[in-house]
Structure 1
Amino acid sequence: MNHLHAPFNNVKARRAVLMAMDQEDYMRAIVGSDDNLWKRLPGFFTPGTPLYTEEGGEILKGPRNLDAAKKLLAESGYNGEPVVCVVAQDLAFVKAQGDVTHDLLKKLGMNVDFIATDWGTVGARRAQKTPPGQGGWNMFHSWHAGADCVNPSSYTAVRANGAGAWFGWPESKEVEDQVTAWFDAPTLDAEKAAIARLNKAALDHVVFAPTGFFQNYQAWRSNVTGIAPAPLPFFWGVSKS
């Protein structure tokens, strides 16, 4: 979500989206009916890693409350302005997310300008800070590799340092204070405490909307050996008999 322009320059509008969205809708749109391939993600860090936390994640848990989300959206001052949602059609898991969001925003009562395009265009357009009606945007969909989301050192999207932040340019002193606290932490317990506070602050501010955690299967022939368990395919050490 773009924090520079209405409606998502108001945290109430951003929180309304979190309150209404159901991560299961997104995950099933991406991976189908295989429950082994997805998890709910009430936070920003990779499940199964040392710093994973659900602190502050209540807004993404439990039954969805569309009426409460609509009320919060109205409190934000939203008055039917177009919401420019730029969605790549040439990446299946991005398109799936965009389709779910399109339906969600309409249920919230938002006026959606759905821009169906390709990933190259999304990549160029998301860098624009101009108003949505002048070549900018309000929403786009993406993904992050789990290996990038284990801590803030490589996780640019969880930062909230304004003009220096990832696309959407969130700005929150509370988030950045906890990033600093993590870098300064002398022990693993101190790291975990800082990340828990960071997760809560990032959800309170809604730096972006996490749609869930999903995985893919990998397959190789029975005569191939040396495949290492890893977050992405590595080809060294591999041999074929």
Structure 2
Amino acid sequence: MAHAFEAGEARAVYRAIHERRDMRHFVGGSVAPEVLRRLLDAAHHAPSVGFMQPWRFIRIRGEALRHQLHRIVEQERVLTARALGEREDEFMRLKVQGLLDAAELLAVTLADGREKHVFGRRTLPQMDLASASCAIQNIWLAARAEGLGMGWVSLFDPAEVAALLGLPEGAEPIALLCLGPVADFYEEPMLQRERWAKREPLASLVFDEGWGRPSDLFDHPSTVEPT
């Protein structure tokens, strides 16, 4: 294709996608300021509906604030476990220590005043969240390319986190990102390794012309490697 990357560059993109992991184990250390700026710049170059750029990033640097956030997460982790019923004990074995152990902790929030952005959101207001999620994915892929792990924590009460971080009315926290050096990357997603869930076959999730109609894309084996 005329505008395709060189083969090695394309393979690197696909490698970052396939080797990205939601990390839960960190080894402290640090992230150089220039690397963190690159990661945030990657996030800021994510697509956003109507070019609304709804993402805001708060760098959590103080230990006391980290511990307060960890307490909020632990409260929700217990409540989530109870809601899972028979899988409560299994869930409680999945720790969320990255908030305390990772080199960097970033809170990602949706900005206030999003209601003024109508382009692309009139019937789908949740596109602000979709746009911010693209920014988070950009950080994730860039972090993997830099050799850094990242974990997305969403076990928290948004109102409590908003109050703790002093968010203005209308702003909304959507993620706590644990970021930093790791001993190693999981060979497979942690929740798959722990037998919590497994990746669904792609062919079962792609339809032609309408819901539930199997796609002929998968009549023949295909490769995930770019040519």
Please give the range of the TM-score, normalised by the shorter of the 2 chains.
Answer: under 0.3
TM-score of the superposition, structure 2-length normalised? 0.26
Higher relative CO (Cα under 8 Å, sequence separation at least 6) belongs to 2
TM-score of the superposition, structure 1-length normalised? 0.24
